[in-house]
Structure 1
Amino acid sequence: MVFLNMWKQIITFLLVATWSVMALAGPVLTVVTEDFAPYSYVECGRITGYSTELVETSLRRTKAGYSIHIYPWARAFRMARSQPNVLIFSVVRTPEREHQLQWIAPIAPRSVYVYKLAARRDVQVRALADLGRYRVAATRGDVVEEQLHALGLEADLATLDESNLRKMVAGRVDLMVASELSMKAICHNAHVSCGLLERTIAMPGVGEYYVAASLGTPAATVRALRDEFAKMKASSFMQQTADKYGLSLR
């Protein structure tokens, strides 16, 4: 009986120790993003990019376990809003999204424009009010969809920017909205020459991309990541990483 009680105590101790280590280590995070060069993209079978490097560095330094995945943006954003222990980047912070996620840190400025085919002289965009006269394409789940809806416009939605570009080339839409820095990669992936496009007006408002965590992510994990991003910003690491990808942080 004494021997049995001793083994029970040992097993209990081991279980408590294991749970304690797991609690200290924190949960394994599911990290989600989209194919969005130069911020996140696949190269030689590996997810890389400016934002990816920052996020993975912060996770390694905080010793967090994680797996990283590229999904269509609507799916990634849905996971971040509905599942625990999810990290998402590069996501735009808006008043409507403020309480849907735990915001960790801004990582890059955002510049988004309305594009048209240069040959379409019948399409003239000089102000936001002009968008109402045309068919405008946007990425499903993106903040641009929300912006267009707020303007009373129904966007022609697609899962990928490349699909929107192909629709515009085919004449199925007149305009598309996309990040200026990602347009080169969008053209490459869609096998369309960027020389066919003309940039028109900038989309107003929201101006930075963020890293954020789902509401079900432990506060300790979020604090640790916030601290790490603050250190990266205070040092030259963030700027050096941006320089690698030809990005300006101003």
Structure 2
Amino acid sequence: MKKLVLFAVILNFLSYKIIYAQELIGFTEELPGLIELDGDQLKGPVIEKVRKIFKKAKLKENLKVYPWARSYEMAKREKNYFVFPMAKNSEREKYFNFVGVLFNVKTYLYQKTENIIKIKTLEEAKKYSICVVRNDIRDQYLTEKNFPNLIRFSDQNEAIHALIAKKCDFAICAENIEFIWKKNVKENLNYLVKKSFHVKEINGDRYLSISKQTDPEIIKKLATAMKEINK
């Protein structure tokens, strides 16, 4: 009996060591004001929070910056990969566990300041062309709702500049796009682009998500750590 107990203790210890030794690869993107790349170093309040969660969970992380669509496709097929921030929908829940909310952001339809397109519902926007970020939550939502005129780009910055270049009538972006203008563009884009319609249909919660192939014990550790930090 003592040998069985000792064997169980050793097995649990080894399992813990194996889990802790694994490095989890995290994909994110630059979101000025929240996630920023300073040389080769990631910084910002969201980065600090994610690292705090992993430290609390006693897990190792390796954070990388990639375009959103590439990150999503890579992470959904492999274990020990996580993506943040990510919005939740039924399609993504097939591939990811959503550990917890990191922050909340509103979504808007933007148009050129000189334009006077007025809509009262999102449905009315179907007759206009809309610049979107390929495979992000807004692209997926509008595609599900059968919006016919979606023009896809690799990130929000490209989508907004396409709007300015008159390649579409609207660009659908998270409100934090305005931080990008302030950081990366010398010209004040507030004179060129304006908020046109608040898209309340798209939930603003942004999560830390991890691929479903990952060891459930790792996912549990992260969820517990995040709950403790959010208290």
> TM range, normalised to the smaller chain?
0.7 to 0.9
State the alpha-carbon separation in 1 of the partners of residues 132 and 186 from structure 2: 19
Deviations 1:69-105 (A, max 9, x none): 0110001111221111011110001122223211111
In the alignment, is the contact (CA less than 8 A) between 1:90 and 1:210 conserved in 2? yes
The equivalent residue for 1:54 is: 49
Q: CA deviation at 1:36?
A: 1.9
Deviates more, 1:81-90 or 1:35-44: 35-44
Shift of 1:26: 4.4
* Superposition map of 1:88-99 within 5 A: 88-99=83-94
Q: Does 1:34 align with 2:29?
A: yes
* Structure 1: gaps spanning 5 or more residues: 1-15, 235-250
Question: Cα distance, 1:187 vs. partner?
Answer: 5.5
| Equivalent residue runs for 1:87-166 within 5 Å | 87-121=82-116, 123-153=117-147, 154-166=149-161
- What count of residue pairs does the alignment treat as equivalent? 218
What's the offset of the Cα at 1:218? 1.1
Larger Rg: 1
Q: Distance in 2 between matches of 1:50 and 1:182?
A: 17
Q: Of the candidates 198, 207, 211, which is equivalent to residue 214 of structure 1?
A: 211
Contact 1:25/1:64 (8 A) holds in 2: yes
What TM-score do the two structures reach when normalised by structure 1? 0.80
Q: RMSD in angstroms over aligned alpha carbons?
A: 2.2
Question: Which residue type is aligned with residue 129 of structure 1?
Answer: E
Return the alpha-carbon distance in structure 1 between the equivalents of residues 18 and 68 of structure 2. Answer: 31
How far off is 1:206 after superposition? 2.0
After TM superposition, the score normalised by the length of structure 2 is 0.86
What is the match of residue 246 of structure 1? none
Q: Distance in 2 between matches of 1:129 and 1:102?
A: 31
